[in-house]
Amino acid sequence: MNDFALDLRGIAKAYNKGRPSEVAVLRGASLAVKPGEVVALVAPSGAGKSTLLHIAGLLDTPDDGAVRHGGRDMVGLSDRDRTEARREDVGFIYQFHHLLPEFTALENIVIPQLANGQSEARAQARAKDLLARVGVAERAGHRPAALSGGEQQRVAFCRALANAPRLLLADEPTGNLDPATSDQVFSALMSLVRDTGLAALIATHNMDLAARMDRIVRLEQGRVV
């Protein structure tokens, strides 16, 4: 057992295994994130950041290596247990918001909570609280198309935190925003993460944003350096 929210050891992953087009993306990558710690994952495009985040978040399985959440082995779980662990442990944020277009901002944060067994009243209260924390409470009744890019992404942050995960994984969370908006939206994300004390691994190209996190790790040649 250990106290890391996320512990990756010796992760290997290749695509197109056994074919001439085989590409070894991760070659023994190791990385651990403590509760409350925010870690920047920095690497050029194509280096394997998304692959590592998908493995960390149980969306993909490694060819080799160990994945632990809160000290618990995740690789050996059944598909069903892994899906449940993902739903309970992990919040994801992507470069594009992926909000459900036919639902309001509030509903987009309520729905995952209902799916997780929360009551409607409590889900609504939590959604409103999260939206207020990122400064978009007054936009709660709008559908995504009526929100600015920065507002959409703030709502996506709230949705990722809707079920109070212990681990937040973000892949270029402000990558499609202009620099000024990116800066503000990133500040909102950081205060949300700090308020909730969760562990976060945030992939970014942006060194200014990376410098605002607790620690920077780089992915080079399939390893974390």
Structure tokens at 195: 């308020």
Query: What secondary structure letter does DSSP report for 138?
Result: G
49 in contact with ligand ADP (CB under 6 A): yes
Stretch that binds ligand ADP, among 45-53, 103-111, 155-163, 180-188 (CB under 6 A): 45-53
According to CB under 6 A, which one of 29, 40, 50, 199 is a site residue for ligand ADP? 50
- Between CA 212 and CA 167 the distance in angstroms is 18
**Binding of ligand ADP by 204 (CB under 6 A):** no
Contact 192, 130 (CB under 8 A): yes
The answer to whether residue 15 forms part of the interface with ligand ADP (CB under 6 A) is yes
First and final CA of the chain: distance in angstroms? 24
Complete DSSP assignment for 68-102: EETTEE-TTS-HHHHHHHHHHHEEEE-SS----TT
Question: Segment near ligand ADP (CB under 6 A), from 41-49, 90-98, 111-119, 144-152?
Answer: 41-49
Is 165 one of the binding residues for ligand ADP (CB under 6 A)? no
Exactly one of 1, 18, 19, 45 binds ligand ADP (CB under 6 A); that residue is 45
**How many other CB atoms sit within 10 Å of the CB of residue 203?**
24
- Contact between 18 and ligand ADP per CB under 6 A: no
Q: Which region among 39-47, 68-76, 98-106, 210-218 touches ligand ADP (by CB under 6 A)?
A: 39-47
Burial zone of 34 (CB within 10 Å; 0-12 exposed, 13-18 middle, 19+ buried) = middle
| Crossing angle of the two packed helices 179-196 and 120-133, in degrees rounded to 10 | 130
Considering the rule CB under 6 A, would residue 78 count as an interface residue with ligand ADP? Answer: no
Least Cβ distance, residue 142 to ligand ADP (angstroms) = 31
What's the closest the beta carbon of residue 205 comes to ligand ADP, in angstroms?
Answer: 9
- Kindly determine how many residues on this chain lie close enough to bind ligand ADP according to the rule CB under 6 A: 12
Query: What is the SS3 assignment for 132?
Result: helix
- The least distance separating ligand ADP from the CB of residue 61, rounded to whole angstroms, comes to 13
| Positions in the binding site for ligand ADP (CB under 6 A) | 15-16, 23, 25, 43, 45-51
